[in-house]
Amino acid sequence: MAKKTKNDSAQFVRKETFWLGTLLALAVGFFGGVMFTVLKSDSAAVPGRLQAQVPQSQVATAARPNMIASLEDETAKNPQNTKAWVQLGNEYFDSSQHEKAIRAYQKSLELDPNNANVWTDLGVMYRRSGKPKEALQAFDKAIEVDPKHEPSRLNKGIVLLHDMQDFDGAIAAWEGLLAVNPIAMAPTGRSVDEMIQQMKKQNN
Protein backbone atom coordinates (compact mmCIF):
# COMPACT_ATOMS: atom_id res chain seq x y z
CA MET A 1 0.00 0.00 0.00
CA ALA A 2 6.38 7.70 2.24
CA LYS A 3 6.74 10.97 3.83
CA LYS A 4 3.44 10.30 5.43
CA THR A 5 0.43 12.45 5.70
CA LYS A 6 -2.18 10.44 7.53
CA ASN A 7 -5.75 10.37 6.34
CA ASP A 8 -6.87 9.50 9.82
CA SER A 9 -4.84 10.84 12.70
CA ALA A 10 -6.17 8.10 14.95
CA GLN A 11 -5.00 5.36 12.64
CA PHE A 12 -1.80 6.97 11.32
CA VAL A 13 -2.07 5.66 7.78
CA ARG A 14 -0.41 7.14 4.73
CA LYS A 15 -2.09 8.79 1.80
CA GLU A 16 0.76 8.70 -0.69
CA THR A 17 1.54 5.03 -0.86
CA PHE A 18 -0.58 2.08 -0.54
CA TRP A 19 -1.70 -1.12 -1.35
CA LEU A 20 1.00 -3.43 -1.24
CA GLY A 21 2.81 -0.61 -2.65
CA THR A 22 4.65 -2.05 -5.58
CA LEU A 23 2.99 -1.25 -8.85
CA LEU A 24 3.96 -4.52 -10.45
CA ALA A 25 0.53 -4.55 -12.03
CA LEU A 26 0.53 -8.08 -13.32
CA ALA A 27 -1.64 -7.34 -16.30
CA VAL A 28 -0.84 -10.52 -18.16
CA GLY A 29 -4.28 -10.96 -19.59
CA PHE A 30 -5.28 -13.67 -17.12
CA PHE A 31 -8.99 -13.36 -16.44
CA GLY A 32 -9.12 -10.31 -18.67
CA GLY A 33 -6.56 -8.31 -16.73
CA VAL A 34 -7.70 -9.25 -13.25
CA MET A 35 -4.18 -9.79 -12.00
CA PHE A 36 -2.70 -6.91 -10.05
CA THR A 37 -0.68 -6.51 -6.91
CA VAL A 38 -2.08 -6.23 -3.43
CA LEU A 39 -2.30 -2.69 -2.18
CA LYS A 40 -1.64 -0.61 0.85
CA SER A 41 -4.52 0.39 2.99
CA ASP A 42 -5.21 4.06 2.39
CA SER A 43 -4.93 5.12 -1.25
CA ALA A 44 -8.59 5.49 -2.08
CA ALA A 45 -8.25 9.11 -3.13
CA VAL A 46 -10.99 8.67 -5.72
CA PRO A 47 -14.38 7.73 -4.22
CA GLY A 48 -15.10 4.08 -4.80
CA ARG A 49 -11.71 3.35 -6.28
CA LEU A 50 -8.91 1.39 -4.65
CA GLN A 51 -5.85 2.94 -6.20
CA ALA A 52 -2.34 1.68 -6.71
CA GLN A 53 0.35 4.32 -6.69
CA VAL A 54 4.09 4.47 -7.22
CA PRO A 55 5.76 2.87 -4.21
CA GLN A 56 7.69 5.34 -2.13
CA SER A 57 10.60 2.91 -2.10
CA GLN A 58 11.20 3.94 -5.73
CA VAL A 59 11.57 7.57 -4.73
CA ALA A 60 15.00 8.68 -3.59
CA THR A 61 14.62 10.17 -0.13
CA ALA A 62 17.85 11.13 1.53
CA ALA A 63 15.99 11.79 4.77
CA ARG A 64 14.69 8.23 5.12
CA PRO A 65 17.71 6.71 6.96
CA ASN A 66 17.56 9.58 9.44
CA MET A 67 13.81 9.14 9.87
CA ILE A 68 14.19 5.41 10.47
CA ALA A 69 17.00 5.97 12.94
CA SER A 70 14.93 8.57 14.78
CA LEU A 71 11.91 6.28 14.98
CA GLU A 72 14.02 3.32 16.07
CA ASP A 73 15.40 5.49 18.85
CA GLU A 74 11.91 6.67 19.83
CA THR A 75 10.47 3.14 19.98
CA ALA A 76 13.44 1.96 22.02
CA LYS A 77 12.96 4.77 24.54
CA ASN A 78 9.15 4.70 24.50
CA PRO A 79 8.00 1.21 23.54
CA GLN A 80 4.38 2.12 24.32
CA ASN A 81 4.31 4.77 21.59
CA THR A 82 1.87 3.16 19.15
CA LYS A 83 2.11 5.98 16.62
CA ALA A 84 5.89 5.66 16.45
CA TRP A 85 5.67 1.90 15.82
CA VAL A 86 3.20 2.49 12.98
CA GLN A 87 5.37 5.19 11.47
CA LEU A 88 8.44 2.98 11.76
CA GLY A 89 6.56 0.14 10.08
CA ASN A 90 5.56 2.51 7.29
CA GLU A 91 9.16 3.60 6.76
CA TYR A 92 10.29 -0.02 6.60
CA PHE A 93 7.37 -0.75 4.27
CA ASP A 94 8.38 2.01 1.88
CA SER A 95 12.03 0.95 1.90
CA SER A 96 11.15 -2.72 1.24
CA GLN A 97 12.42 -3.96 4.60
CA HIS A 98 9.63 -6.48 4.88
CA GLU A 99 10.60 -8.41 7.99
CA LYS A 100 11.36 -5.26 9.94
CA ALA A 101 8.03 -3.78 8.86
CA ILE A 102 6.27 -6.92 10.06
CA ARG A 103 7.87 -6.66 13.49
CA ALA A 104 7.06 -2.96 13.81
CA TYR A 105 3.44 -3.47 12.78
CA GLN A 106 3.14 -6.39 15.18
CA LYS A 107 4.41 -4.18 18.01
CA SER A 108 1.87 -1.49 17.17
CA LEU A 109 -0.94 -4.05 17.04
CA GLU A 110 0.01 -5.38 20.45
CA LEU A 111 -0.72 -1.87 21.71
CA ASP A 112 -3.74 -1.18 19.48
CA PRO A 113 -5.21 -4.36 17.95
CA ASN A 114 -8.20 -2.52 16.50
CA ASN A 115 -6.49 -0.75 13.60
CA ALA A 116 -7.72 -2.30 10.34
CA ASN A 117 -5.26 -0.28 8.27
CA VAL A 118 -2.26 -1.61 10.13
CA TRP A 119 -3.59 -5.18 9.93
CA THR A 120 -3.87 -4.69 6.17
CA ASP A 121 -0.36 -3.29 5.83
CA LEU A 122 0.91 -6.20 7.92
CA GLY A 123 -0.83 -8.55 5.50
CA VAL A 124 0.85 -6.84 2.58
CA MET A 125 4.24 -7.33 4.17
CA TYR A 126 3.50 -10.99 4.87
CA ARG A 127 2.54 -11.50 1.25
CA ARG A 128 5.69 -9.80 0.01
CA SER A 129 7.68 -12.03 2.36
CA GLY A 130 6.22 -15.13 0.71
CA LYS A 131 3.72 -15.89 3.48
CA PRO A 132 0.29 -15.77 1.84
CA LYS A 133 -1.46 -17.73 4.61
CA GLU A 134 -0.30 -15.22 7.20
CA ALA A 135 -1.36 -12.42 4.84
CA LEU A 136 -4.87 -13.84 4.65
CA GLN A 137 -5.05 -14.10 8.42
CA ALA A 138 -4.07 -10.43 8.71
CA PHE A 139 -6.65 -9.37 6.13
CA ASP A 140 -9.31 -11.41 7.93
CA LYS A 141 -8.37 -9.67 11.16
CA ALA A 142 -8.73 -6.28 9.47
CA ILE A 143 -12.20 -7.28 8.27
CA GLU A 144 -13.09 -8.49 11.76
CA VAL A 145 -12.00 -5.17 13.23
CA ASP A 146 -13.78 -3.15 10.52
CA PRO A 147 -16.29 -5.12 8.41
CA LYS A 148 -16.51 -2.17 6.00
CA HIS A 149 -12.77 -2.03 5.37
CA GLU A 150 -12.43 -2.20 1.59
CA PRO A 151 -8.64 -2.59 1.04
CA SER A 152 -8.45 -5.73 3.15
CA ARG A 153 -11.30 -7.34 1.20
CA LEU A 154 -9.72 -6.47 -2.15
CA ASN A 155 -6.31 -7.73 -1.05
CA LYS A 156 -7.77 -10.93 0.34
CA GLY A 157 -9.22 -11.74 -3.05
CA ILE A 158 -5.93 -11.02 -4.79
CA VAL A 159 -3.99 -13.33 -2.50
CA LEU A 160 -6.61 -16.07 -2.76
CA LEU A 161 -6.56 -15.88 -6.54
CA HIS A 162 -2.89 -15.45 -7.30
CA ASP A 163 -1.15 -17.11 -4.37
CA MET A 164 -3.61 -19.77 -3.26
CA GLN A 165 -5.23 -20.49 -6.65
CA ASP A 166 -8.59 -20.33 -4.88
CA PHE A 167 -10.81 -18.97 -7.64
CA ASP A 168 -14.09 -19.32 -5.74
CA GLY A 169 -12.61 -17.87 -2.58
CA ALA A 170 -11.37 -14.83 -4.47
CA ILE A 171 -14.80 -14.21 -5.96
CA ALA A 172 -16.41 -14.59 -2.53
CA ALA A 173 -13.97 -12.04 -1.07
CA TRP A 174 -14.74 -9.55 -3.83
CA GLU A 175 -18.46 -10.15 -3.57
CA GLY A 176 -18.05 -9.27 0.11
CA LEU A 177 -16.37 -6.05 -1.04
CA LEU A 178 -19.33 -5.27 -3.31
CA ALA A 179 -21.69 -5.82 -0.39
CA VAL A 180 -19.80 -3.04 1.39
CA ASN A 181 -19.39 -0.80 -1.67
CA PRO A 182 -21.40 -1.73 -4.80
CA ILE A 183 -19.38 0.69 -6.94
CA ALA A 184 -15.93 -0.46 -5.76
CA MET A 185 -13.25 -0.26 -8.41
CA ALA A 186 -9.92 -2.06 -8.69
CA PRO A 187 -6.59 -0.22 -9.08
CA THR A 188 -6.80 -0.96 -12.81
CA GLY A 189 -9.85 1.28 -13.05
CA ARG A 190 -12.25 -1.59 -13.67
CA SER A 191 -15.29 -2.06 -11.50
CA VAL A 192 -15.01 -5.02 -9.17
CA ASP A 193 -18.46 -6.18 -10.27
CA GLU A 194 -17.42 -6.23 -13.94
CA MET A 195 -14.24 -8.06 -13.01
CA ILE A 196 -16.16 -10.75 -11.12
CA GLN A 197 -18.64 -11.27 -13.94
CA GLN A 198 -15.87 -11.64 -16.49
CA MET A 199 -14.04 -14.10 -14.27
CA LYS A 200 -17.16 -16.20 -13.87
CA LYS A 201 -17.83 -16.13 -17.62
CA GLN A 202 -14.28 -17.15 -18.52
CA ASN A 203 -14.33 -19.94 -15.98
CA ASN A 204 -17.46 -21.54 -17.48
Tens digits of residue pLDDT in 164-186 = 999 999 999 999 999 999 999 98
**Percent of the chain, pLDDT > 70?**
71
Predicted pLDDT of residue 49: 37
Predicted pLDDT of residue 204: 73
Average pLDDT for residues 102-122, to the nearest whole number? 97
Report all structural domains of the chain as residue ranges with CATH numbers, in order of start: 62-180 (1.25.40.10)
Predicted pLDDT of residue 129: 96
Contact 39, 18 (CB under 8 A): yes
Predicted pLDDT of residue 57: 42
Residue that wins the pLDDT comparison between 133 and 64: 133
Average pLDDT for residues 186-200, to the nearest whole number? 89
